[in-house]
């Protein structure tokens, strides 16, 4: 028997049964991305990360699951300017050991109020999250469905009246925020935590670093402790939905945003070229 919120069934309802492994074990992964003017210009970066994640988790990917296939499926259901989530999970069967390695997917899209990455003039106030630490292992870097640690960190930051929280890994080094990758600027050089420290492999972080390198700006990976971050000239966080945002305050340290504004201009220029827009 099944009791779903007080309603009895003889077995799992069909629409829930297909989600069994996602519900039971968080056995899947996801991508969040943006559409601009009905186009998804950064989809190749997301497809690359998704493909790597599917392989790492041992999915048997159907042959028709190609980059082009999902681009068409996404554009079928998304508004002109939209936030899109692609969720993938393993088909039902088995307990911790699955009996079916094929994936299923769900696409959802919600309208965005703008077709550009808005620059946040006020900056963000962020805190150091004390309640969780992120593991560093072979699955670090994959956007997996089990986001309990990020939920706990986001709740902690909200309770402290902060806009976001910085999460450390189990080695007490800076990893990422609850929803974004971290970059910092020191003496006009840009730094980011190394992939080996467990951060999600950010598609937007990867894009921005490519743009900065093309401009001749030094970009380096470097392990970072909270004290190092406090000593930075600027702290920036990036994700595929909101672009670049700057941190105004972290644990009583205050930062500027001169480089961040320039980086945002480079991003806007790159997006305009991809969409065939004219820069204003």
pLDDT(238) > 90? yes
Q: Any idea which residue has 């309990």 for tokens?
A: 148
DSSP 205-244: HHHHHHHHHHTT--EEE----HHHHHT-SEEEEEETTTEE
Q: Which helix H or strand E contains 3, and what residues bound it?
A: strand 2-4
* Contact in structure between 165 and 157 (CB atoms under 8 Å): yes
Q: Which of the residue ranges 61-70, 73-82, 124-133, 260-269 would you say has the lowest mean pLDDT?
A: 73-82
Class of domain 8-111: alpha beta
* Contact in structure between 161 and 194 (CB atoms under 8 Å): no
Helix (H/G/I), strand (E/B), else coil: 174? strand
Kindly tell me the burial class for residue 125, based on how many C-beta atoms sit within 10 Å of its own C-beta (0-12, 13-18, 19 or more). middle
Strands 234-239 and 103-111: unpaired
- Whether the pTM exceeds 0.85: the reply is yes
Residues in CB range of 49: below 8 A, 6 or more apart:
31, 143, 201, 203
The CA distances from residue 20 to 30, 31, 84, 233, in Å, are 16, 20, 23, 47
* N-term to C-term CA, the chain: 62
Model pLDDT for residues 120-146, shown as the tens digit of each residue: 999 999 999 999 999 999 999 999 999
Give, in degrees to the nearest 5, the angle at Cα 264 between 217 and 31. 100
Domain 124-275 architecture? Alpha-Beta Barrel (3.20)
Report the distance separating Cα 33 and Cα 242, nearest Å. 10
Residues in CB range of 219: below 8 A, 6 or more apart:
189, 190, 191, 192, 209, 212, 213
Output phi, psi for 216, to 5 deg: 85, 15
Per-residue confidence at 171, pLDDT binned at 50, 70, 90? very high
Domain range annotation of the chain: 8-111, 124-275
Model pLDDT for residues 84-120, shown as the tens digit of each residue: 999 999 999 999 999 999 999 999 999 999 899 999 9
């Amino acid at each position: 028997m099944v009791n779903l919120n007080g309603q009895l069934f003889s077995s799992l309802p069909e629409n829930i049964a297909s989600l069994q492994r996602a519900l039971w074990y968080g056995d899947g992964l996801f991508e969040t991305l943006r559409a601009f003017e009905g186009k998804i210009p950064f989809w190749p970066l997301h497809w690359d990360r998704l493909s790597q994640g599917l392989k790492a988790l041992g999915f048997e990917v159907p042959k028709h699951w190609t980059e082009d296939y999902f681009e068409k499926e996404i554009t079928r259901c998304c508004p002109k300017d939209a936030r899109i989530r692609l969720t993938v999970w393993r088909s039902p069967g088995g307990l911790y050991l699955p009996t079916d390695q094929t994936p299923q997917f769900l696409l959802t899209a919600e309208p965005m109020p703008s077709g550009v990455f808005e620059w946040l003039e006020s900056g963000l106030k962020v805190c150091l999250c004390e309640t969780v630490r992120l593991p560093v292992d072979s699955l670090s870097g994959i956007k997996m469905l089990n986001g309990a640690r990020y939920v706990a960190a986001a709740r902690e930051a909200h309770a402290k009246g902060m806009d976001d929280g910085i999460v450390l890994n189990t080695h007490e080094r800076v990893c990422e925020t609850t929803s974004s990758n971290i970059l910092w600027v020191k003496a006009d050089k840009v730094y980011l935590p190394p992939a080996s420290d467990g951060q999600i492999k950010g598609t937007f972080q990867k894009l921005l670093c490519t743009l900065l390198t093309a401009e001749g700006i030094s970009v380096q990976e470097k392990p970072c402790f909270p004290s190092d971050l406090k000593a930075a000239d600027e702290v920036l966080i990036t994700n595929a939905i909101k672009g670049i945002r700057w941190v105004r305050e972290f644990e009583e340290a205050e930062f500027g945003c001169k480089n961040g504004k320039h980086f945002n201009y480079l991003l806007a220029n790159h997006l305009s070229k991809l969409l065939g827009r004219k820069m204003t």
